[in-house]
Each structure stands twice: as structure tokens, then as C-alpha cells.
Amino acid sequence: MRKRILVTGGAGFIGSHLCESLLNDGNEVLCLDNYFTGSRKNIIDLINDPYFELIRHDITMPFYAAVDEIYNLACPASPIHYQYNAIKTVKTSVMGSINLLGLAKRTGARILQASTSEVYGDPLVHPQPETYWGNVNPLGPRACYDEGKRCAETLFMSYHMQNNVDIRIARIFNTYGPRMMPDDGRVVSNFTVQALKGEDITVFGDGNQTRSFQYIDDLIEGLKKLMEYDGKCTGPINLGNPEEITILNMAAKIIDITGSGSDIIFKPLPEDDPLRRKPDISLANKKLGWKPVTALDEGLRKTCEYFRKISDK
């Protein structure tokens, strides 16, 4: 039977890909977004689908609908955007979770929380397994996002234990692909936009800090597998690519793929910026049979082509 699925943050980078995939699977999709970082352009091709409904709404306010599943993706996820209004970021994670968990409780819907690798902070354990509690500065400039997401996980688990709400928690590591915002301040979008413009590529710190990048298609597959898993699997479960790369090597790779003549320049590392980030995905592989399959060069070529296309318009 066709499921009625609510996707909050559905007009965003990840949300729009998820809405598209769920529709292709034959579901009915309710897309909620307040357009703080999302865009109608991301879901314009879905508007005329009779099983797609677009609703402008902020999840810090209650929302009522009869749904079978809820994907909570609503929250600014890049430092530029979540630090712009730190209080609003915390409210989105905390009050938004309370509102959506209340909806799940009333309707009996299964609900998935899009958490983040940022709950690990600047990790002292490498790679990071789900059992690691993290190393987070609760008073720093990133705390509004890090601690907001950590509190959201607490709320999800509390609703599950106290009210038997059917929950899933996904900890998402660095993700890239088409529909990223050109000005979101993330590594791949920053480097790609700068390279295509022939500008200097800005590397913070000495460039030897590492990240692990997964392509958007792999993440969407992981999110759906976690939601659809019928066994006991509340999470949290890491969804990311365990292949580690230095920021400096990523800059060189993007310069090569774009054919740019950009130089690399260095600026001071922002406060609390993690030095290493790599997921342990053994749990996702064991429980869900999931692992990323898109090679980094292949994903970067698709992403660069997207940014090239929108820059020509």
C-alpha cells in the first residue's frame, strides 16, 4: 500500500533528494519547509506530482496530519547558517523534535531523526563508533547545533522508552552532491565554487585535518533502509563514508576535476573545528546491509557538473 510520508526540511539539499526517492518508490509525500536554507527550486520538478504536497511550515510550531512515517531533516546544517541565529537553531532541534514526536505518538507513525556526526564533537576516539559519547564544547560557537542535535537524540530515546514511540536515529557524516547551496560554507561546495570561478581556494588550518565524504545517493539509500528495517533498530546508526581524506587533498582533487588554475591559500582554523572525522559503519553494514558505493571522484564530477550548470544560468 502507498505510504503517506512526512519529510520536514524537504526542500533542502538532503530533503529534496529524499522526497524525490520516496515518490519514485510509489509513496505519498508531504514536504514541510520554512525555506530558511531550503529552496523551492530543489523540488520544482516534484510540484506537479499528484502524490506530492508542499507545505510552508516551521516545525518549532505544532503540525497536525495523518501520516505513516516521519523523516525529521529540518535544521540548518552548515556552520554559516546554524550560527546565523543560534537560538533558532536550538529551538529547531529541541522544540521541533518535541512537536514531531508528539505527532508520531498521536498517529502511531515511525519517526526518523536526522542527527549528525557533530554529536561526536572533536573526537578523541578514531574512527567514531555509535558507543562513543563525544567531545563537545557546550559553550562554543558550534554548540547550538552540536548540543541541539544531542538533546534531540535524548528526546527521541525518551519518547521511545516512556511512550513506546517507534524511533530511528541516523548520525549523518559529511554529505555532498547536487543541490548543495553554493554559499553554505561547506568544504565541497566552497572549493568547487571557488575553483569554477578561478578564485583562490581557501583552506582553514594547515589542511591536514580529515573528513569522510559520502555522496547524496548513498545517504538516501541508508536513510530509507534504516526507516524500513523491521527489527529492533532504534539507533543511533552512523551513515557515512569511512574513506578518510585530508582537506588539502580534497582541494587538489577538486582543482584537478574542474580543470581550474586556482591556487590554495590558508586561513586560521575556526574554533572547535574537528581535526579528524571518520565513521565506524560496521553497525549499519551488519543491521542494514548498507555501505556507500559511490566513488569519491565519480561523486565529485557529478557535483562539479551541477555547480557548473547553475553558474551558467
Q: Give the pLDDT confidence of 64-82 residue by residue, as tens digits.
A: 999 999 999 999 888 888 8
Mean pLDDT value across the chain: 96
For residue 216, give Cα distances in angstroms to 13, 253, 287: 9, 19, 20
257 has a pLDDT exceeding 80: yes
What is the pTM assigned to this prediction? 0.95
pLDDT class of 312 with cuts at 50, 70, 90 = confident
pLDDT for 251 equals 96
244 has a pLDDT exceeding 70: yes
145 is catalytic: yes
Residue 40 contacts residue 11 (beta carbons within 8 Å): yes
Any idea where the domains of the chain sit in the sequence? 4-179+214-241+275-293
Q: What is the mean pLDDT of residues 171-184?
A: 95
CA-nearest of 98, 13, 30, 32 to 60 is: 98
Radius of gyration of the chain from Cα atoms?
Answer: 19
pLDDT for 231 equals 87
CB-based burial label for 229 (10 Å; 0-12, 13-18, 19+): middle
Q: In percent, how much of the chain has pLDDT > 90?
A: 91
Q: In percent, how much of the chain has pLDDT > 70?
A: 100
Residue 279's Cβ-side half-sphere holds a number of Cα atoms within 13 Å equal to 28
pLDDT for 79 equals 81
**CATH no. of 4-179+214-241+275-293:** 3.40.50.720
Q: Which of 71, 82, 120, 145 is catalytic?
A: 145
Residue 65 contacts residue 108 (beta carbons within 8 Å): no
CA atoms of 138 and 148, how far apart (whole Å):
10
In this predicted model, what pLDDT tens digit does every residue of 140-152 receive, in sequence order? Answer: 999 999 999 999 9
pLDDT for 313 equals 62
Q: What is the mean pLDDT of residues 71-96?
A: 93
CB-based burial label for 7 (10 Å; 0-12, 13-18, 19+): buried
Query: Does residue 127 have a cis bond before it (omega within 30 degrees)?
Result: yes
pLDDT for 273 equals 84
